[in-house]
Amino acid sequence: MSTSQRPLLITGVEFVDGSGGDLLIIDGAFVDPDRAPADVERVDATGLLALPGLVDPHTHLREPGREDTETIATGTAAAARGGFTAVAAMANTQPVTDTAEAAEFVHDTAIREGAAKVQPVGAVSKGLAGEELAELGLMARSRAGVRMFSDDGRCVADPLLMRRALEYVRAFDGVIAQHAQDPRLAGPGACCHEGEISGRLGLGGWPAVAESVIVARDVQLAELTGSRLHVCHVSTAESVEVLRWAKQRGIRVSAEVTPHHLLLTTDEVLGYDPTYKVNPPLRPAEDVQALRQALVDGTIDAVGTDHAPHARQDKEHAFADAAFGMLGLETALGVVIETMIDSGLIDWFRLVEVMSAAPARILGLSDQGQPLVEGSPGNLTLIDPGARARVDAGDSLSLSRNNPWHGRDLPDPVQLTVWSGRITYRRS
């Protein structure tokens, strides 16, 4: 979508270093505020904190194929509402994003209709079948410029296929993003963390080791190939320890954690509410604490929402039969503030790193995650750090309503989102 041609002057902002000042965006980039022309659009940001636009490395936009649950237009509107100026769209669409043409469809649709930059993620294997490599090179060379490849929703279980994928993308510094779930240890019936609660409720168990064994295998394959590995939605303390070991060895691995895994525990499933059925599943409190500490010390690099919209007819079933996934784009920043900022675990500099700068680096987006200085792309979000609200699923800009935060009091900070100089969300 084209950027606004009218210059934008934002006055009285506060920055994460404690300083204050004005910001001027002309032709999609920050310039010296003293150059503001007479016809500038003005925004009074007194008392608001300015952050670089947030970047989500893990979003499901569902288009093409399931436009009844989300579209690129509605998903990016929700992203802008959450302070995001860029999102990575996972490949498990219908048809799968496993060709250059499919990636270009997502790319081109987002240019026409999106309220944020959309970076298509290509499939690792054709049809997500885990048998034959998809068109990795053609997708990378397409106008979509794909740099991340993932069969997310399914694990690349075949170690030889995983090795070949890592070797292939090394030539253009691509990254393979793995959904770490051993299909034998956590098979089709697994729907809840394996433990006392799954046993009491009679639900199929998804053991922590089913994640960590794949992470352990893949970091060693990344070391063997010298290529880049990204681990999606880390959920267990065991995986954190493997990642810590790999980073100490200098292996080229990055990892993300979801907001829901930073706050919710497996206790949420005691009521059999399918809203809380997610893959990987919610884990016990000790895993939540390990994930928070890993985000503090850099073992986990980034926050990824794993925003997964579903229609009611797919989610409103018995727990074992319901679809996996929950919404996350509009509430992600609030959850991270609640769990990490308000608790004193991280400061605003670290939040900017894990929700903007690091995801942009992982995705290879040079126009995102940049500091708010002259010459940088004009992406930012203005927030009121003290604002709170009770979440109402009915108010979501997403087409779906599988919101795990409905009725919960959370920080609701985003006041304004600007993507390449264009206001994409403004709190009314």
| Residue positions annotated with a catalytic role | 306
| Pairing verdict, β 41-44 and 29-31 | unpaired
Consecutive H or E run containing 332: helix 332-336
**303 φ, ψ to 5°?**
-105, 130
What residues pair up with 148 in beta bridges, in sequence order? 175
DSSP assignment of 138-202 equals HHHHSTT---EEE-TTS----HHHHHHHHHHHHTTT-EEEE----TTTS-TT--EETTHHHHHHT
Q: Which residues pair with 255 in a beta bridge?
A: 231
Distance of CA 274 to the CA centre of its chain: 22
Torsions phi, psi for 33 (to 5 deg): -60, -25
Q: Is 152 annotated as a binding residue?
A: yes
The β-bridge partners of 89 are 59, 120
Is 310 annotated in some ligand binding site? yes
Please name every residue paired with 150 in a beta bridge, in sequence order, or none if there are none.
Answer: 177
The DSSP symbol for 352 reads H
Q: Is 406 labelled a binding residue?
A: no
Q: Is 261 annotated as a binding residue?
A: no
Place of tokens 């989610």: 315
Q: Is 317 annotated as a binding residue?
A: no
243 is in an annotated binding site: no
Pairing assessment for the beta strands 192-193 and 228-231 based on DSSP bridges:
unpaired
d(CA 226, CA 374): 36
Is there a binding annotation on residue 403? Answer: no
The answer to whether the annotation marks 325 as part of a ligand binding site is: yes
Longest CA pairwise span in the chain (Å)? 68
| CA–CA dist 50, 138 (Å, integer) | 38
Q: Please, are residues 340 and 292 in contact by the beta-carbon 8 Å criterion?
A: yes
Rg (CA), the chain: 21
DSSP, res 337: I
Q: Is 260 annotated as a binding residue?
A: no
Q: Is 375 annotated as a binding residue?
A: no
- 267 appears as a binding residue in the annotation: no
Binding-site residue positions for substrate: 60-62, 92, 279, 310, 324-325
Binding residues, as ranges, are 58, 60-62, 92, 152, 179, 233, 279, 306, 310, 324-325
Q: From the annotation, which residues make up the binding site for Zn(2+)?
A: 58, 60, 152, 179, 233, 306
